[in-house]
Amino acid sequence: MNTYDLLVVGSANADLVVGVDRRPAAGETVLGSDLVVHPGGKGANQAVAAARLGARTALLARVGDDGHGRLLRDSMESAGVDTSGVLVGGAPTGVALITVDPSGDNSIVVSPGANGRLTPDDVRAAGGLFAGAKVVSVMLEIPLESVAEVARSVADGARLVLNPSPPAPLPDEVLAACDPLIVNEHEARVVLGAEPDGEPEDWARDLLALGPRSVVITLGSEGALVADASGARRVASVRVKAVDTTGAGDAFTAALAWRLGTGESLADAAAYAARVGAAAVTKEGAQASYPTADEVASL
């Protein structure tokens, strides 16, 4: 009996957001709106998204012993995430400093903080979490050496889902463990080390040649493409009126990972994840926008 449907290993940040009429030039000061602080980070976002859908979810992450760390733990616990794997200390909680102009364009500076202190030893010490998880999801907002240790720690019979964001070249052992590797066009370019040629089906073929057991390529308004050794298939997008796309990719990844753990095919899991991502963009914010299973069903 698995304890968790999904174990997320990754980042937890406080998003500090200020609206500005225009972003300042070098050496310039501009006035902004009142500061708004949101719980964020791709790891925490995925964990909350899955838990709100009803998945038994745990997070392995590191936060600081500070107010931002408490904000993040409170947000995850209120969503039903098991935070026993959220380690405290080593550095201040990671922070994303975000300015947003009237058009919605943003500029972001990320201070990794405690995220950068999630070590391979921390991963090895969390063996009980890995042993109890059907699916493990990881991203690149933690050290790459820790991501490699996650790939080595996935239990027999479980599967590893990786979204390489922010993108970076990946070791062969990590690529070989991915089932699936989830990328957008920019991330595909970095993983491949070259501009993708041809159509997304061609990108998928080239990515599979690097070692992943399966690949999902997100295509924005055009939906997604899923591919494995049996071939490639397109998954349609869901048409909604978008209000805020923040964190929608994390909701997609979390939903897909959870549904794979229930035994759904890659195409069916991606189709469900597309509906979750569509529901998420109809509300403002990241974690605050994530839907319940009932809300997805009614979309």
Give the catalytic positions in this structure.
250
Pairing type for strands 133-139 and 159-163 reads parallel
User: Rounded to a whole number, what is the distance in angstroms from the first to the last CA of the chain?
Assistant: 32
Write out the two tokens for 237: 């997008």
Cβ-contact 289, 247 below 8 angstroms: yes
Q: How far is CA 249 from the centre of its chain?
A: 7
Burial of 194 (0-12, 13-18, 19+ CB in 10 A): exposed
* Angle in degrees, 0-180, between the axes of helices 42-53 and 67-79, rounded to the nearest 10: 20
**d(Cα 239, Cα 250) in Å, to the nearest integer?**
18
Q: 132 CB contacts (<8 Å, ≥6 apart)?
A: 2, 3, 4, 7, 58
Cβ-contact 210, 225 below 8 angstroms: no
Taking the CA atoms of residue 120, residue 126, residue 130 and residue 131 in that order, the dihedral angle to the nearest 10 degrees is 130
**d(Cα 238, Cα 235) in Å, to the nearest integer?**
10
- Per-position DSSP letters for 194-220, written without gaps between them: SPPPSSHHHHHHHHHTTS-SEEEEE-G
Question: What are the residue ranges of helices labelled H in the chain?
Answer: 42-53, 67-79, 120-125, 127-131, 144-153, 172-177, 185-192, 200-208, 248-261, 266-280, 293-297
Q: Write the CA distances from 212 to 156, 181, 255, integer angstroms.
A: 17, 6, 20
